[in-house]
Structure 1
Amino acid sequence: MNMSFGLREENRALLQRVADMIRDDIMPLEEEYQAEIGKGDRWQYTDRQAEILEGLKAKAKAAGLWNFWLTDSEKGFGLTTVEYAYFAEEMGKTPLGAEVFNCSAPDTGNMEVFERYGTEKMKEQWLKPLLEGQIRSAYLMTEPDVASSDATNVSMSCVRDGDDYILNGEKWWSSGAGDPRCKVYIVMVKTGGEDQPKHQRQSMVVVPADAPGIEILRPMEVYGHDDAPHGHMHIRFNNVRVPAENILLGEGRGFEIAQGRLGPGRIHHCMRAIGQAESALEQMCKRSLQREAFGKKLAQLGANYDIIAECRMEIEMARLLCLKAAWYMDQGDARAAAPWISQIKVIAPQVALKVIDEAVQMFGAQGISQDTPLANAWTHVRTLRLADGPDAVHRRQVARAELRKYTQEKV
């Protein structure tokens, strides 16, 4: 099997332009941007925050560095998933990277849903401003009262009433729903009864974020942090009424849409996690060469040579696995790609967490403080081990695929 993990020559130059903008324009503004959070209303952007973010986005858009995630699309750059991996890794090196180039989760997945499954009206109303970076969106799947890692448990009520559907229930960990620019939700709901096949009971429906009856109960905290102004919100739907035309593809098609949406989203998260690991290793190395203790550079003390070497090797292994999963995605066979996506979904956050934690150790107490980006990076990547399916679910999928080689029975 001939696998290629490289970049076409024209895209190497494009990637370098992205890397240069991240280093020269975005990273120097990170600290100032983060310092603005909490000045006044945490759930609104300060004037300076908006100035920084929108200024960077305008610069990226003017330079044509926009919507790289549109793989194999004439609307984007025609990147393969393998090629996009390199871009996502660069963007993962800074918290602002993905949004500056309009490649943020959950928007990319939601835009793919609108592009593939949305009506012309949805594309005009929601996809167009999302592609322009004018609004944000959220994806509502997880529920507080059921184990949502098994999506057949999703139970938000969605009942047909004439030309409308009426939604009742709660969702939580709705990432991005705290953002004041979030204007639309894609919501997984239950439309079928027990008489329906197990995977035809759920549907997806498009809900305007300002629909009457939507109540944001609270932001969910990640290790004590609310992640404002992005937020992971706990939301209640009280008789929320939406037109029947807002259902995507029709009743019972929710799993079909979810599989089309979550595959790319999972691997994009992993690509960015590798970028975070690279950033942490860079910080670790610089710190080890700048700081002295007991008359020596930190790099020369204890097992630090071994630690740095192990981090480099594990990042390289994770990157290769990520590229292999991306290659399988590019072949167009979702079933063949699934075990590889599950593998990297387990490995990439684990490797990134290890590297970030070792960097924290190199910085000592400063590493867990607000004086480095490492503490925020750690909490973000730890969350990633649960986002889009916990490790145990992905390990189960990998094991089932492995065992299937040796038995004709379902495992």
Structure 2
Amino acid sequence: MPYPDPPARKPADPRFCTGPARKRPGWSADALTGALLGRSHRSADAQERLNAVIARSRGVLGIPDSHRVAILPASDTGAFEAALWSLLGARGVDVLAWDGFGRTWLRDVVDQLDLDGVRVLEAPDGALPDLTAVDAGRDVVFPWVGTTTGVMVPDARWIAPDRAGLTICDATSAAFAVELPWDRLDVATWSWQKVLGGEAQHGMIALSPRAVARLATHTPPWPVPKVFRLAEQGRVKDALFAGATLNTPSMLCVEDALDALAWAESLGGLPALRARAEANRAVVAEWVAARAWLDFLAADPATQAPTSLCLRPVDPWIRRHGEPEQRRLIQRMADLIAGHGAGYDLMGHRDAPPTLRIWGGATVDPDDVAALLPWLDWAFEYLKAEHGVE
């Protein structure tokens, strides 16, 4: 079987990593020249910049004034862990798990916090659990977008407006790409490194009045590490929501976040960011619909996230292999494409089924996605030629 010729056209920017995601169009290190390097993060000037990140994030995301917003260490992971360690334990909890990160939070709740009264609502990769089974009298822990599977909750109708429990949402692959229902979210966390394409290691958290009240009245029965401590001795750390941080932030990363937020504002804010992400998903969806050898991992189109675009080969030749060999074959495809400089970091997450994954966040140009897709066809045909498959 002859080897196919590679496509003539390559993406102008071949970076499709899910995080740290591609920088905004036109970015250069010149955007960081105003960074307050060598200055204390407690100085008035640094506090002004940290508060600007909070205020401008609130503005772009449409977070209501009733919610309190803070910058936390260790990316979205640190922000979400802070929520779990600081808020859980006051009542029973439902944990929704349908991807690698949802299952990580499940392990934290069950194995690390050792909570009683945990209900697990789980689904296989590519599907959602039964959202109608969530008990409004209990806390609920869930990701809005399952980053490793590309499956997202399609709406918030399953969240009761008169709930007694808290909704604790990992929103890192959703924030700045979908419109989050702030009236139904008591806790939401995200990082700068996803849809905004900012630098890593800083997370953010938004807390509703109900979540703040929980912080003020609930003392967890376990020791809370300093970098997760949103309250201390029954008092909410109010300074966190006024530009203070739990450890030393990188002012270089802060400057980069401000640059990304300025770019988002220049486009027209959240509606424009959402439109760019949805355009990327639409390009992939149209292409996938004309292919027989692969499909979205998200079985229901209503649950296909516009950011983490996870594609699973369904060709019988690949599917007849066991999972380790499928993963090796798909990795070979990703390596072939990367070797030509046509697309980097396309292999799916290690905790997901064997998949190809394209990040479709707003910093990615739909024209680059369109230029990438023929390379997936080429890599598949090249792989078959290597193995003598007709």
Shorter-normalised TM-score: what interval?
Answer: under 0.3
- What TM-score do you get using the length of structure 2 for normalisation? 0.24
Higher relative contact order (CA 8 A, sep 6+): 2
Higher helix share: 1
